C-alpha cells in the first residue's frame, strides 16, 4: 500500500468511527434524573436547547429525593437535577457516593403552609408542624422558625439542625418529620407544614400567595446539576451546563414560576 492509499484508508476508517460514535450517541441519549414538577418542566426546555448543540437527552422523573442519587451512582442515570449542595454533601457522607456538582440551577425558597392559621404567630401551644424528614431540608425549616422567633436552636446546630437541637420552644410546637413528597397531603391533619416548592406547586400551592412564612431567597440551598465524579470533565457535561445556563432557560424560569422558583446561575 503506497502512502497516499494508506492516508485515504486511515481517513475513511476515522470517518466510520466518527459516524459510529454519532449513531451511538443518538441511539443512547443521556439520561437525566429529575423530580416531578418544576425540575422536570425546566429540563424539558433544557432538552430542546441541548439538542440544538448535538446533545440528546432523556428526562427521567422520580417521585422522591433518594432514588435519583442511587440511580446516578449505579450508572442508570448520567446526571441528575433536583437537589441542593447540603443535601448532596449529606448523601455523599452517608452513602459514599462518588457524585459531584458541576453547576448551579435554580433556587426553591421553602414555604410554610396551613389550612388552619394565616401566620406562624397564630399557631397555638402544642401545634403540630410537618417538616421534611431528611436532615438538610428539615434543618432549613427549623432555621425559618428560629428566624421568626418561635424557637431557638442550640449553638452550632447550623444547616443540619434537627428537632433534637431545639433548646427553646415556648409554644411547645411539635415538629412531625414526614417524607418531603408527602407533606402536601398532611395539611388536613396538621396545623401547618413546610413544603419544598417543587412539591408545593403540583399540589396547587403558590408560595407567593399561599405560604404563611417563607425562607429568604438568599439561602445556601441553590439547586445543582450532579454527575458521577468520573464523568465531570467529559465534553457532554460542559454542553449540558451551557444549555441550562442559557438566557432562554433564565427567561423561562422567570416567566413560568413568577418568583416561586428563581434562577441560581
Q: What is the mean pLDDT of residues 228-244?
A: 98
pLDDT for 2 beyond 80: no
Can you give the pLDDT at residue 216? 75
pLDDT for 159 beyond 90: no
Cell (9 digits) for 41 = 418542566
Strands 128-132 and 174-178: parallel
Topology agreement, domain 3-108+221-263 and domain 111-214: yes
Q: Map out the domains of the chain as residue ranges.
A: 3-108+221-263, 111-214
pLDDT for 54 beyond 50: yes
Q: pLDDT band at residue 27, thresholds of 50, 70 and 90?
A: low
Out of 3.40.50.12780, 3.30.300.30, 3.40.190.10, 2.30.110.10, select the CATH number for domain 3-108+221-263: 3.40.190.10
Q: What is the pLDDT of residues 94-104, one digit of tens each?
A: 999 999 999 99
- CB neighbours (10 Å) of residue 23? 10
Per-residue b/e over 40-54, b at no fewer than 16 CB within 10 Å? bbbbebbbebbeeee
Q: What is the mean pLDDT of residues 81-104?
A: 96
pLDDT for 43 beyond 70: yes
Phi and psi at residue 245, in whole multiples of 5°?
-85, 15
Can you give the pLDDT at residue 117? 97
Q: What is the pLDDT of residues 198-212, one digit of tens each?
A: 899 899 998 888 999
* Topology annotation, domain 111-214: D-Maltodextrin-Binding Protein; domain 2 (3.40.190)
Biggest distance spanned by C-alpha atoms of the chain: 92
pLDDT for 258 beyond 90: no
Amino acid at each position: 500500500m503506497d502512502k497516499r492509499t494508506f492516508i485515504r484508508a486511515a481517513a475513511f476508517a476515522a470517518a466510520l468511527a466518527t459516524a459510529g460514535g454519532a449513531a451511538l450517541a443518538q441511539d443512547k441519549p443521556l439520561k437525566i434524573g429529575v423530580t416531578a414538577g418544576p425540575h422536570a418542566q425546566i429540563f424539558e426546555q433544557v432538552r430542546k436547547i441541548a439538542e440544538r448543540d448535538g446533545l440528546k437527552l432523556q428526562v427521567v422523573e422520580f417521585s422522591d429525593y433518594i432514588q435519583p442519587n442511587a440511580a446516578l451512582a449505579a450508572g442508570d442515570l448520567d446526571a441528575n437535577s433536583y437537589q441542593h449542595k447540603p443535601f448532596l454533601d449529606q448523601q455523599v457522607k452517608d452513602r459514599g457516593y462518588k457524585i459531584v456538582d458541576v453547576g448551579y440551577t435554580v433556587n426553591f425558597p421553602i414555604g410554610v403552609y396551613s389550612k388552619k392559621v394565616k401566620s406562624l404567630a397564630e399557631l397555638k401551644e402544642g401545634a403540630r408542624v410537618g417538616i421534611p424528614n431528611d436532615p438538610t431540608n428539615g434543618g432549613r425549616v427549623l432555621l425559618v422558625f428560629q428566624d421568626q422567633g418561635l424557637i431557638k436552636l442550640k449553638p452550632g446546630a447550623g444547616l443540619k439542625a434537627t428537632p433534637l437541637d431545639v433548646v427553646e420552644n415556648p409554644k411547645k410546637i411539635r415538629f412531625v418529620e414526614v417524607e418531603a413528597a408527602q407533606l402536601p397531603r398532611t395539611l388536613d391533619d396538621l396545623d401547618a407544614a413546610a413544603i419544598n416548592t417543587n412539591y408545593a406547586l403540583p399540589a396547587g400551592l403558590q408560595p407567593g400567595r399561599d405560604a404563611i412564612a417563607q425562607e429568604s431567597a438568599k439561602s445556601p440551598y441553590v439547586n445543582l446539576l450532579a454527575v458521577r465524579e468520573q464523568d465531570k470533565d467529559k465534553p457532554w457535561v460542559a454542553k449540558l451546563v451551557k444549555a441550562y445556563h442559557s438566557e432562554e432557560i433564565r427567561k423561562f424560569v422567570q416567566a413560568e414560576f413568577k418568583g416561586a422558583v428563581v434562577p441560581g446561575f
